[in-house]
A = this chain, B = another copy of it.
Amino acid sequence: MSLLVTGSIGIDTVKTPHGVRENCLGGSAVYFSMAASFFSPVRLIGVIGDDCPFDLAGVFAGKNVDLTGLEIRPHSKTFRWAGSYRDDMDDRTTDCLELNVLAEHPPTVPERFRDSKFVFLANTTPKLQLEMLGQIDEPLFVAADTMNCWIQNCRADLNVLLERIDCLIINEDEAKMLAADLNLIRAARKILDMGPSVVIIKKGESGSITCDAEGHQFILPAYPAADVTDPTGAGDSFAGAVLGYLAQTGKTDFDTLKIAVAYGTAAASFTISDFSLQGLTSITKNEIDKRLETLRKLTHF
């Protein structure tokens, strides 16, 4: 079934213990689309300025990502982010953030994308996420991400959003903040009470916890990576493979969701193995499948 993503396209500068990459391609919609495209055609909605140095058609060549919804806005500047990772790669500092075109009005969903059935609203203000969602006719399964600043500063909008989505994909610390509960299992239950029927909590190198409103739980560790080069985009790649697999199967039952989360974990493990998109662009679907089987062996007893 059709899969649409709205999110950022950015120019990233990343420092990790493995080196520095300046002005490389990043952004939530980019990582999401690249990971999701292994499973399903993707409709990307995003906006860049006319300063953007990347040939996105070239980046996604042969990848089944429809760029009809990509707006290149004249006289605007592309979103920029710079960040540094500590030695243990577990936490990062934002060194510089220029919203630029993301602070302007959102892009328009093209008419022929309004029938999209699976939708991912990548992290941005809840108000914008609601505006984007309002342009989709009858979505079957809507997932969204959010973050600390919207939880703290845009709670009313976020509460409306939570009632209108099916799945929240969120980091551990943000889940605890949103639920005002330091126990992650209780936090997950409280988030389900806010509206979504599924919550997927990302725990970085400790994997993820998936819970639904019917009481199902699925806990999956991260793939054990001895070499983490750049964690940027891991969460969006995870979400991309999750939604991509769901859209591919057209199903959202809990057993399908478990496989989807395992695929998300596999995709994220490739993203973190290299800078920018290189970890994802250098692999085949077959390698993701093999990693899924490795994950199965690593976790089953």
Contacts and interface: CB of A to CB of B under 8 A. Distances in A.
Contacts of A299: 218-220, 299-300
A296 B218 CA distance: 10
A110 interface: no
Task: Give this chain's copy count.
Answer: 2
A211 to B, nearest CB: 9
A220 B224 CA distance: 12
> For A224, A225, A296, A301, which residue has the most chain B Cβ atoms within 10 angstroms?
A301
Interface stretch (A126-134, A157-165, A200-208): A200-208
Contact of A218 (B88, B183, B301): B301
Given A87-B182, A184-B205, A206-B203, A262 B225 contact: no
A260 B208 CA distance: 23
A298 interface: yes
Nearest to A296: B301
A183 to B, nearest CB: 6
B298 A300 contact: no
SS class of chain A's interface: helix, strand, loop or mixed?
Answer: mixed
Interface string A196-233: 00000001011101000000011111001111100000
Interface string A161-180: 00000000000000000000
Nearest to A187: B226
A259 B185 contact: no
Contacts of A227: 183
A209 B224 contact: yes
Interface string A243-286: 00000000000010011011000000000000000000000000
A241 to B, nearest CB: 14
A161 to B, nearest CB: 26
A226 B301 contact: no
Interface in A9-36: none
A290 interface: no
A262 B219 CA distance: 14
A186 interface: yes
Contacts of A88: 182-183
18 contacts: A88-B183, A183-B225, A184-B224, A185-B224, A186-B226, A206-B207, A207-B221, A209-B224, A217-B298, A218-B298, A219-B221, A219-B224, A220-B299, A259-B301, A261-B301, A262-B301, A299-B299, A300-B300
